[in-house]
Amino acid sequence: MAAKRKLAEEVVVEGGELDTSNHAHIIPLGAGSEVGRSCIILKYQDKTVMFDCGIHPAFKGMDSLPLLDDIDIATVDVALITHFHLDHCAAVPYLLRKTRFKGRIFMTHPTKAIYYSLLRDLAKGAKHSSEEALFNEEDLDASMEQIEVVDFYQTIEVSGMQITPYRAGHVLGAAMFMVEVAGLRCLYTGDYSRLPDRHLPGADTPPVTPHIVIVESTYGTSRHLPRQQREQLLIDNIRTTLNRGGRVLMPIVALGRAQELLLLLDEYWEAHKSELGGIPIYQASSMMSKALGVYQTYVESLNEDIKKVFHDRNPFKFRHVQTLKNPAHFIADYSGPCVIMATPSGLQSGASRDFFEAWCEDARNTCIICDFAVQGTLAKEILGGPSSITTREGRRVPLRIAVHNISFSAHADFDQTSGFLDTVKPPHVVLVHGEYGEMRKLAKALKDGAKAAGLAREVYTPVLQQTVAIEHQPDRSVRLQGRLGEKTLQPGGVVRGVLVRQAGGFGQQLLHPDDLPRYTKLLKGRVTQRQAISVDVPFSVIRLALEVMFEGVEGAGTVSVTSVPGAAGKGKEVLAVMVGDTVEVRYIPADDTTGMVAHVVLEWEGGRHGDMVADAVIAVVLQAVGEPVGASNAESAMNRARAAGDETAAAAAELQLIAALLRSQYGPAVVDEAGGSISLSVDGVSVLVDYRAGKVICGEVGLRARIEKSLDRLATAIRPVAIDRPQG
């Protein structure tokens, strides 16, 4: 039998009222009508997700950061970083160390590995720069401790949200993230490419339909040339330049397109080494060299073609590519033809800028822009065809170098984006990571395409800080199965059970734990917890402390030493009590033959209630361990006297033991052995305990009752406990 209930109407959810908001809010703190500093916020119900946290390559210092002050960072539940490019991840150390961010943060394994190498170089460079540093190496190291890793297709739950990464195909480890909150599914693509290349597979198509897709719009309505055509165009331009004695500069991002192009050139040089073998190919980035080890480590993330090559040789051990360690000396000393890849891709700084300024006045040379040129960078400026440029020293120099734009950028073009959206069919599309004009052209084309195909589709093009509000009715229903479904529920009533979500089945089921095997593949299990604590006081002291703190402390009956961990086969006495029906406390005396010290073993069934009681019992035991040694000495004397049959000495020792135990609970105690009594002073009130007569003389009724109860418990605590010794 099953019943479907509306949570908001018939089932009270413990822990607070449900949020009745039915709008998802998407806010670009970066990458809103711009390319750079990607940082997108999704808010729905009481959950907040941050997608990416990068810097803008055209800006410096604090100006390069996302607009993090626009929201309360402390409310962000989780940050999801799609890949290691600086415009998507380089503000992470700042976020984690210099803001009020308190959430969790996730990356894939390759992203985290390369993130550290890239940002470590960035932090080292900041030491020797006059520019404002966003973070240092200590901040980066601390961020690594906070970052958690996630595998492709692994669904994780964070604060009630389900998060699943899919392959994005952009660079090694790049992920698209599907986030589900209260039935709302939002897919954030980050940078993605649906076309496989020489080393990476294309982006995945998620198996479920998202309600919202937040998608990059870098290339707007532009279309990439087919891969073979692009590669041939690149080779033709390189050969033309080399034949006229010129040099080729390819400003490139250190990871991603660099490896793709190095694979292409190395393969071409190998096939034409009789003609080109004497012309060097250089890569002028230490990061490119470091990346090769990462690519070898995560070979399973590469495509099938490159995996097959790995069977014969490591394709990333290039045969015709050399690492250039000192660009300044090379510029000064070398004048022959060559091909050089250098970072950064925007020519705004670094080795690529040094080469460009040194070679830009020579018409024999060529600069090939292979990646997307961000607005505000020199790479974008020279694509406009200026006759001169301004150097970093402020000189105006003529621009005679040939400039070509042959895009190998692993960003989706119009055909990829429109095809992807037509396949997953989201009713809402939010465009980010694109320049203002291109985003609006793409939005119009996507709307027209959806209309022609009869698809319901709204397309949004937010600028920085502009909130997109999308209405979505949250899924608040749950199916009550089995014995819970048979219950008659009253409005406002409470039902308790295990909430289960099954892939491919009904969204949510609430089950009695005993019904799990019937309706799911889950089994009810039991976890037994044990904790051992060494002690140097008699068990009577510990038992008294437990009885003072807890009601229902009872002897557990006879306990076989063979059933107690740590005592089997030793023939030692084992005393045991139960605290309620939750925690068993066993006392195992010292064993001089083995050197084992006296200790207590707590055992309980793991769970919220059991763990809470066990924590309290452990605290009481630890406090009892610190009690005066007088109790231990008195108990030993009492036991020796009883063993010798000396009842007089045993009675005197028992009186001393009772006094020590009362002293530990109530304060100063004086023993009158002749009179068989104990005098106490409790907060200035005098109390006389006539132990032989079993009377307590005290002017305060309440205090007298407390001490009488303590004496009853003490009599039980020091009474001998029956022991089962091992048989045979």
Q: Does the pLDDT at position 283 exceed 70? A: yes
DSSP 598: P
Please, what is the average pLDDT of the chain?
Answer: 84
DSSP 494: -
Please give the model's pTM, rounded to 2 decimal places. Answer: 0.63
Residue in 411, 428, 472, 512 annotated catalytic = 411
Q: Does the pLDDT at position 566 exceed 60? A: no
Return the pLDDT at 718. Answer: 66
Return the pLDDT at 64. Answer: 94
Residues 634-674 have pLDDT tens digits of 767 777 777 788 888 888 888 887 887 777 777 788 888 88
Residues 130-162 have pLDDT tens digits of 567 899 999 999 999 999 999 999 999 998 899
Residues 358-376 have pLDDT tens digits of 999 999 999 999 988 888 8
The 47-51 sheet, strands edge to edge: 147-149, 104-107, 78-80, 47-51, 39-44, 23-30, 468-471
Return the pLDDT at 572. Answer: 42
Sign of the C-alpha dihedral computed for residues 684, 688, 689 and 694 taken in this order: negative
Residues 303-332 have pLDDT tens digits of 777 777 777 777 788 889 888 888 888 888
> 19-222+411-471, superfamily in CATH?
Ribonuclease Z/Hydroxyacylglutathione hydrolase-like (3.60.15.10)
Per the annotation, the verdict on 109 as an active-site residue is: no
Distances (CA, A) of 261 to 44, 218, 250, 283: 42, 21, 10, 11
Return the pLDDT at 8. Answer: 32
Residues 63-79 have pLDDT tens digits of 999 999 999 999 999 99
Domain boundaries defined on the chain: 1-18+476-522, 19-222+411-471, 227-405, 528-625, 630-717
Q: Which amino acid is at 159?
A: S
Return the pLDDT at 353. Answer: 93
Give the residue-averaged pLDDT of 696-705: 87
Residues 225-250 have pLDDT tens digits of 898 999 999 999 999 999 999 999 99
Instruction: Note the CATH architecture for domain 528-625.
Output: 2-Layer Sandwich (3.30)
Residues 4-58 have pLDDT tens digits of 433 333 333 333 333 346 899 999 999 999 999 999 999 998 899 999 999 998 8
Of 451, 411, 256, 267, which Cα lies nearest the Cα of 345? 256
- Could you please state the CATH topology (level 3) that the domain comprising 227-405 is classified under: Rossmann fold (3.40.50)
Residues 112-124 have pLDDT tens digits of 989 998 898 888 7
Alpha helices per DSSP H over 248-340 = 257-271, 273-276, 286-297, 304-310, 327-333
The angle formed by the CA atoms of residues 283, 286 and 289, to the nearest 5 degrees, is: 75
3-state helix, strand, coil in the chain (%, to 5): 35, 25, 40
**The token pair that represents 269 in the structure block:** 């040089």
Q: In sequence order, which residues have a C-beta less than 8 Å from that of residue 6 and are 6 or more positions away?
A: 476, 477
Cis previous bond, 344, omega within 30: yes
Residues in the chain: 728
% residues pLDDT > 90 (the chain): 42
Of 33, 105, 98, which Cα lies nearest the Cα of 65? 98
